[in-house]
Amino acid sequence: MSPTEPQRHDDTARPIKPSRNPSEESPWVFWRSVVITLAVALGIRQFLLEARYIPSGSMLPGLQIQDRLLVEKLSYRGRAPRRGEIVVFHAPHHFDPVLVSQTGGGGPLQCLLVNLPLIGALPDVQRPACDAFIKRVIGLPGDHVVVDPLGRVKIDGRALNEPYVKKYCPVDSRGMGPCRTLDAVVPSGHVLVLGDNRGNSWDGRFWPGGHFLPQREIIGRAFWRFYPFQAWGSLGPTSPPAP
């Protein structure tokens, strides 16, 4: 090319160099991807969002057995739970002193292993303290809560509007029944949680070591039902604050 000839860009196609055979890759490449994927999935589940299903009828009729829910874990880092919200929390065997003394509780590592799909299916590793419960927030710190034999609630002397409750406790001619009553003030840092199915819910009325759920034991707020598809939608809250 002469000095006066303009320089031209080289737009010619270059041959592609053959890539290495995947079989020649280090095994660490595969396992590194697996470890990163698991770490991201566990991180999301631990700190942001997880899916849960309903195993019992304690929240009937609003939540049916086998409903699939999304539980978010960010709201309660910036605020306290609100009345009417549905929360998922560690089983009472994790924090109730009487139940912990009976079952031995469960450490974080043990519960992590129990909640893994394959290991958790083994009967010998099951621990009640590693289970999770789902109930509705009814009483807030400082509330004077009265629950009558039917399961109806008064907050500071006024009836709580609970349109989600359709199943109350059975009572006899004297107004007595199998459900526990409650008359107490919710302490600081705690909430009272009850099942919507008042006649069939093992909730704060029955816990032997105390009636109230420590807020630190709450895993997250159930906010969305994604299955079955015909029931898809938000979970509330569906009750206004007590007057």
DSSP 8-state symbol, 34: H
Tokens representing 159 are 């009836």
Spot the catalytic one: 58, 73, 201, 239: 58
Spot the catalytic one: 19, 26, 135, 173: 135
Strand partners, 144: 185
Tokens representing 219 are 């895993």
Q: Return the residue matching tokens 């053959």.
A: 18
CA proximity to 162, closest of 192, 199, 136: 136
188 a catalytic residue:
no
Task: Indicate the helix (H) or strand (E) that contains 135.
Answer: strand 132-139
Q: How wide is the angle at C-alpha 215 spanned by C-alphas 39 and 60, nearest 5°?
A: 90
H helices of the chain, where?
Answer: 27-47, 97-103, 108-114, 117-120
Rounded distance between C-alpha atoms, residue 201 and residue 19, angstroms: 62
Rounded distance between C-alpha atoms, residue 74 and residue 42, angstroms: 16
173 a catalytic residue:
no
Task: Indicate the helix (H) or strand (E) that contains 87.
Answer: strand 86-90
Catalytic site residues?
58, 135
